[in-house]
Structure 1
Amino acid sequence: MRSENSRNLDVNFLIVSHIWEPLIPLADWMIMISEGRIIVNGPTETAKGEIERIFKEMLVL
């Protein structure tokens, strides 16, 4: 989880992972890449739902 002090440091970092759900509390922004193309790019609150929808569609196929 993010502390108030971490916001004052103005530090950014990038995490790349196939296991994304445990990282949601750390993320302000999410980007999903598929076949070399960005297919989701936005604030975590918005992107999370879109990524979940995409994974559900993949399970149906």
Structure 2
Amino acid sequence: MPTLSATPAPARQHKKLAITGASGDAATSAVALVALGGLFLIWARRRQTAHPED
């Protein structure tokens, strides 16, 4: 009996993980883009500071 009651629980968690996984992929992509953008801005500022073109 315990195995039968344990089977539906992972199935419900799996559905939640599937939904979270889809939004998680979008969130991961967004975080990656923001991080890359931030690194690019830092690199650009350092480059301007090291070699002022004014």
TM-score norm. by structure 2 comes to 0.37
Larger Cα Rg: Structure 1 or Structure 2? 2
User: What TM-score does the superposition give when structure 1 sets the normalisation length?
Assistant: 0.34
RCO (CA 8 Å, sep 6+): is it higher in 1 or 2?
1
Structure with the larger strand share: 1
